[in-house]
A and B are shown apart, each in its own frame.
Chain A
Amino acid sequence: MPKKPDLMPGTLDMLILKTLTRAPLHGYGIALSIKRLSEDVLTVEEGSLYPALQRLLLQNWVKAEWKMTETNRRARFYTLTPTGRKQLGRELSQFEQMIAAIGRVLQDA
């Protein structure tokens, strides 16, 4: 199995927050969503996902509550909070600046 590219450090939090802008999701749903949207390029390791979710909870950027899924099973759903939305905006603009900067360097070379 060819090795998949690692996530850029610091981008996981941003991806999770972005994923949650559409609808509240459980952990598995978040991982799945990222995988699908990236067309199987990005895989979120469970070992990073759950610590990251706890970190976001601690920062009050997401909320968690137990709800029933469509298949009628109990799961913990994460919802974006207003502060989380603001944070996402900050991270996106920073990320874009960074990408632009990297692009300029690469073009120049």
Chain B
Amino acid sequence: MDSLARLFKKLALLLRREKFVNDLDEEMAFHRQQKEADLRAEGMSPETARHAAARQFGNPTRLREQTHETVAFWFEATLHDLAFTLRQLRRNLSFTLTAILMLALGIGASAAIFAFVDAALIRPLPYPDPATLVDVGESAQLFPRSNLSYQDYLDWKRLNKVFSAFDVYTNNAYLLASPSGAEHVHGAHVTAGFFGTLGVAPILGRDFTTGEDQPGAPNTVILSYETWQKRFAGRKDIIGQSVTLSGTPNTIIGVLPQTFTFAPIGQPEFWVTFHTLGGCEKRRSCHNLFGIGRLKPGVSVAMAFADMQSIALQLERQYPDSNRGQGAFVQPLHELIVGDIRPILLTLFTGAVLLLLIACVNVSSLLLVRAESRRREVAVRGALGASPSRLARQFITEGLVLVAAGTLLGLATSYAAIQILLHLISQDMLRYMPFLIGLTLNLHIITFVALVALLAAAIFSLTPIVRLSFSDMRSGLAEGGRTSAGTLWRRFGANLVVLELAIAVVLLVGAGLLVKSFYRLLNVDLNFQPDHLATLCIDAPDASYSKDTQAIALGRSIISSITALPGVKSAAITSVLPVSYNGNTDWIRFPGRPYNGQHNEVNEREVSSAFFTTLQARLIRGRFFTDDEDISKPKVVLINQALAKKYFPGEDPIGKQIGDTDLTPKSLKQIIGVVDDVKEGSLDSEIWPAEYIPFNQNTGTYYYLIVRTSQAPESILPTLTSTIHHIDPGIGTLYELTMAERIADSQTAWLHRSSAVLVGGFAALALLLGVVGLYGVIAYSVSRRTREIGVRMALGAQRSTVYRLILKEAGWLTAFGIVAGVLCSLAATALMHKLLFGVHSWDVTTLIAVALVLAISALLASYIPARRAASVNPVEALRAE
């Protein structure tokens, strides 16, 4: 009750504040006058008595404040401080805006990148107990992580002691009959326990049951949620209905949850089991799967690897032909999903944090300058009765207001930046990074921003307080805050600028290296002409084209119809497009040479006769094959230079033979020519040995069309699709793209481009902020040294001497900054070697270029204040004091 009564009294006082102050003033005046009267009565002169009374009474303002504080609400002083702060900040608008913008920039950039880091690296995978899920594959000499063969999988599953569940999956494509012709749809093949291993259950219908992946089991399919909505209008009664995939009817048994994603294979629409084994699944040497395992409790990834490795060794002894050199590969599933983007994310995050650091340092030094120029104000306010704690509170309030405004603006910036960055990622790529879909501000990001804000607030409110020693009020008044630039400031502020410049150097070096890598990457020698090429993927139904003669006839028909189109110079087909990946390999062996069973792994490509002329790739020796070299003719093969160098050093390969590991007679092919090293793998990959086999001697139903055009290649893409559908509407076509688009959109190019652009952006901002910081320091120093300069000039110093004086100061700071920055960047860039291509992290030209850019920018930034210093009129400068 008591406290309530007190509250009401306080409220009453708050409402009648004026009366309170008037009463108090009158009371104190009365007190002073009484005292004065008493002193006079003791015989003091009126003048002395008044002074003595006033002296004894002390500072009335402070007394009034102290009295007021006992009855006031705690927030009244804060509100008062706030109002005062806002007035102060408004009066100095350019300072306020600069500080807030810098903070917003730093916070916005780092929060946006943190959002991606959080989504990819911090959040767990969307499955129960994700830490016990592992990615399982085989490993071979050329592929540290390679596909698993189905036969090996069966043995691994049977023999392992480490997994409570172990399943395999692979990407698949189906032709789905639709009104507008055959549509190519994305599907997946899995073993029956796949969803159970992940810990996911369908929201409608049922999961696959044990044995549903055995030969002879009925054809069943589970739909993705999106497919259910899009193709079946979300109808509940689709369970039990049939959908025809590539000519085979499948019964729909379930629908997956909306939130289900499985990043390693994108987002398949149709999930079916391995109930009919294809040719590949029957052969132990054919690798087309990947595994996921659920570790038993207490089993580590390393233990799982050891177990798998020992099984692989056992299989190697048992099946030397197919399993020689085939080891095991086990890693956390999380690593498989985010391992590739971790280096780029961490690099970007480091960049953003450095930018934030520069922004904070810059704002701190602005605050220091401000505090310095407010020394007199502080001294005056102290003399007028403001208590040190009250003054300190004023500065804290100012820091808090700046940080609050910067943080709010920073949050808005980061929201926008996240959306923009997401738009930079293609839909196709997002399918493999489902954790980024729908990314927006969330609790993690806001917590991150709050922590940053807290830290910034601490720094900004402490900076001026540390700087201003409130006790030494008299020197502040006497000095008038004018005559000499405080040496402490010069030492401290200058160090801050060196730090800023050093960080800018680190970012610039990082950006320079990334830009150079990207440039190298785009200019990597492909050994063919990528411009004016249109490409398209063709998926012909097996039912109509699985026989060699049918496939050959279709290939010829497609090439001739396409070549006949206006604007087409030539057309060819290939099983795998150049600049896509190294893989789809063959194990080769040479007749007449000793063989110890090792796997001579080479890229294998089935191409049509005009493939190399269409690509405009050079023939080094021998001849190309012709269109009529088909199954009826002797088998021939073209090899690339890398194969010739590796397996025929100092020999002429023309006329030699290549066979499979058993040298079966029908596998023997004669080498008829050597072609240039066409880049088959991604832009940043090595050239592998490759063999090119005539499509007509090893046909397929899934391949790519490459068309060289005389006009812009984009314009012909729709015609290509319609021409093929004209031949057979049952043929699926997809990925209509020009070669240039493919290269520019390839994951390698994208990763390099985005990291170069983003780090470049951070570096540009860092340079700007660093140079602004330097300008601020030099300009401030000049303004404080006006009198010194005036004296020097009055004593005969030339303008050039003044220039030198100022530029020397800037020069030292810049030189320190550059040297420190270069040293730091040597350490920092070593951490991002994974992102570099064709450039060393200690690339000298980049380092020199960055040093030059920074030196020139710094010179420009300090030239302006130096000019101002040199144009000081000595008479005015001296008189102004």
Which residues of chain A have a CB within 8 Å of any CB of chain B? Answer: 26-28, 31, 45-47, 50-52, 54-55, 57-60, 66, 73-76
Contact = CB atoms under 8 A, between A and B. Distances in A.
A45 B57 CA distance: 8
Contacts of B27: 26-27, 50, 75-76
B6 A59 contact: yes
Nearest to A49: B31
Contacts of B71: 54-55, 57-58
B532 interface: no
B30 interface: yes
B30 A47 contact: no
Q: Which of B9, B10, B70 has the most C-beta atoms of chain A within 10 angstroms of its own C-beta? A: B70
B557 interface: no
B66 A51 contact: yes
A47 B26 contact: no
Contacts of A46: 28, 31, 56-58, 63
Contacts of A45: 58
A51 B70 contact: yes
Ranked 10 nearest A-B pairs via Cβ: A51-B70, A50-B67, A28-B34, A28-B31, A54-B70, A51-B67, A54-B71, A76-B27, A51-B66, A55-B70
B5 interface: yes
B69 interface: yes
Nearest to A52: B70
A65 B24 CA distance: 12
B6 A27 contact: no
Contacts of A26: 27, 30-31
A74 B34 CA distance: 12
B741 interface: no
Q: Is the interface of A mostly helix, strand, loop or mixed?
A: helix
Chain B interface, >50% SS class: helix
B70 A47 contact: no
A75 B28 CA distance: 10
Contacts of B69: 51
Nearest to B31: A28
Given A28-B31, A28-B35, A54-B71, A47 B23 contact: no
Interface string B14-35: 0000000001101110110011
B30 A73 contact: yes
A104 to B, nearest CB: 34
A33 B312 CA distance: 101
Nearest to B5: A60
A79 B57 CA distance: 24
A22 to B, nearest CB: 19
A65 B10 CA distance: 18
Nearest to B20: A54
A56 to B, nearest CB: 10
Nearest to B64: A50
B62 interface: yes
A47 B30 CA distance: 15
Contacts of B34: 28
A70 to B, nearest CB: 12
A40 to B, nearest CB: 13
Contacts of A31: 31
A58 B35 contact: no
29 contacts: A26-B27, A27-B27, A27-B30, A27-B31, A28-B30, A28-B34, A31-B31, A46-B31, A46-B57, A46-B58, A46-B63, A47-B63, A50-B24, A50-B27, A50-B67, A51-B67, A51-B69, A54-B67, A55-B70, A55-B71, A58-B6, A58-B9, A58-B70, A59-B2, A60-B5, A60-B9, A73-B30, A74-B30, A76-B26
A47 B28 contact: no
A73 B9 CA distance: 28
A60 B23 CA distance: 18
Contacts of A57: 9, 71
Contact of B66 (A47, A73, A76): A47
B1 to A, nearest CB: 11
Nearest to A59: B6
B273 to A, nearest CB: 80
A61 B31 CA distance: 22
Contacts of B26: 74, 76
Most chain A CB within a 10 A radius of its CB, from B2, B23, B27, B57: B27
A28 B58 CA distance: 15
Nearest to A66: B23
A105 to B, nearest CB: 33
Nearest to B24: A50
